[in-house]
Amino acid sequence: MTAFPKLFSPFKIGSLSIKNRMVMSPMETHLCDKEGFVTEEIIAYYKERALGGVGYITLENTAVNPAGRVNDGMLCIHDDKFLPGLQRLTDCIHAAGGKIVLQLSHAGKEALPYFTGLQPVAPSAIPSPLTKEMPKELLVEEIRDLIAKFAEGAGRAVKAGFDGVEIHMAHGYLVNQFLSPESNVRTDDYGGDTARRSRFAREIVESIRRMVPEDYPVICRISADEYTDTGIKLGESREIARILEKAGASAIHVSACNYASAFFNIPCYYLDEGCFVHLAEGVKAVVKIPVLTVGRILSPIMAENILQENKADLIVLGRTLIADPYLPGKVKEGRLEDIRTCISCNRCIESISDKKLVCTVNPYIGKEGVSAITKTTRPKKILVVGGGPAGLSTAQALSTRGHNVTLWEKESQLGGCFRYASLAPRKESLGKFLDYLISRATKTNISIQLNKEASAESIKQFDADVVVLAHGARHVPVEIAGAKSNGVLNVKNAFTTADSLGNTIAIVGGGPEGCELADFLASRGKRITLVEMRRVLGIGLVAHPRYHVYERLRKMGAQLYVNTKVTEIGHNYIVISRRREADQKLEGFDNIVVPTLHQPNNELAVSIQAFVPEVYTIGDAVEGRTALEAIAEGAEIGGKI
């Protein structure tokens, strides 16, 4: 019997029967084509999640009107011409044993005019908090036309074989704009008190109910708290949920936030796991229909407890299923250690703006139809030098393919620089992912040798067919007057000797390493001064964690300088220089931390070219890499040797 009895109990929403309580969240992928048609890539992506065993999939937001597309990565259902592709998708999901619900959406004032060629629309002429574009206030007849568009979209979803529809009423999109007092200041019957602001949403549900078969699932996704001063709060959302239930909603999917509170909308590692569960619990207390909860639910233990405590009926998983589509099956089989952990870094979210879905921990995302690792027919003796993310990723792929793999790591433990990144506050998920990488390596036939530093001579003696150099960058100290003679530390030293650094620390360089070190030390009561040459701290981090680490440092009283250069370092002082200001001497530091430059490390590769048939250099040894790039590069090299 499974250790998660509630999580793996069957459930029904209307006519939709599902085998467990896990639901895949609607998440934009940019895997459709620019016109919004289904592609083979998007079918392969969702098929993989269906095979992974999730209860049902919610297809990403799909436009009921071309003017409501937020960008050219948004699927469409506003015309019958989209039906053949959508039908192929549902057929494939059903053949894989899955169920799939389509999310109907209109972006309202968040639709981009440069893309649609039209002025965006909204309940009221209030600019978008993100784009600052002024929308056109909808006329009543235009509102009625949009209600019909939602109903027509639902009708097409039925024809295409979807098992239900979800109406996107959250996250600052059009229906949420009507519901919110922050964005709806109309004085007619579609604005005013809660009931009138809910009229647009209510009439969409009622119109869809008339369009679809009886008991067909019509789910409403709401932002139960917009996390803004004047937006919707939970008390009002409970009233909205009751209105939607009476209108015919089959279930309420409880999310949070709008575009003005976007840094909380997709919770990164600085926010608590299960951070929106209390909202679902509040809504569930006032409705009789099922309630879905979402918001950084990473642990199956947490998911089971939420269900056991009756805080929600279904658990919505988003980025966790990007990271590991087979998570449901692994949980059911008790293989929790084999789950590829989502680290909530939000690189996937950032990647959408670049028109390509990626994932730090899953290098195969978006390549499901073409990235299967195949067994080699000609096994080789391969040496991988370096046990950081790039080396571990490469070694794992090579071993899976059937090669004879040995990995050398010069330190006493695996992980490389990634281990220090996982020490920073709120980044426990990085440590869990590193444990996963190491566990996967140790479970294979990889021969791992620690405290083993590679040299040309030792590699020659090893006599490998292939050598993959993932031994990291050369770390060269930044040249600042006085730095060499005054015993400055680098970031690694500071992380490993935090307790003996003293109480007052200056950190030169406010990139990701500097910010996370500052957070690490400030959380231990150290007084921090952080100096960054560029105009923003944390450049290199995704916007969500960059915002939160800045707020954390500010609230802990760190002295933060941007657009500021350190020109001199003394025994216990630094001299800073800012444009159009006199240089300033900051004194009284117990220790000063100076970053290192990550430079190419190709000397070893050059020295072994003469006697190793195949040599590959990857990761930071080529140039500075993020963990995402290092892991992806390792998987790619490992898959083709």
Catalytic residues: 173
Rounded distance between C-alpha atoms, residue 313 and residue 30, angstroms: 30
The stretches of 385-450 forming alpha helices (DSSP H) are 389-401, 418-421, 428-442
DSSP state of 81: G
Distance CA 74, CA 44 (A): 17
Gap between the Cα atoms of 122 and 4, Å rounded: 44
Residue with the two structure tokens 């966790």: 320
State which amino acid sits at residue 29.
T
Coil, helix or strand at residue 561:
strand
Distance of CA 399 to the CA centre of its chain: 28
Q: What does the DSSP 8-state code read for residue 470?
A: -
Torsion angle (degrees, nearest 10) of CA 427, 428, 430, 431: 140
* Helix or strand holding residue 68 (H, E): none
Whole-number Cα distances in Å, 573 to 260, 402, 518, 528, 561: 40, 56, 17, 13, 15
> How is residue 560 written in tokens?
């933060």
Compute the distance between CA of residue 201 and CA of residue 185 in angstroms, rounded to an integer.
16
How does DSSP classify residue 341? -
Q: How many CA atoms lie within 13 A of 285 on its CB side?
A: 11
Cα Rg, the chain, nearest whole Å: 27
Q: Is 93 helix (H, G, I), strand (E, B) or coil?
A: helix
- Beta strand 466-469 with 381-385 is parallel
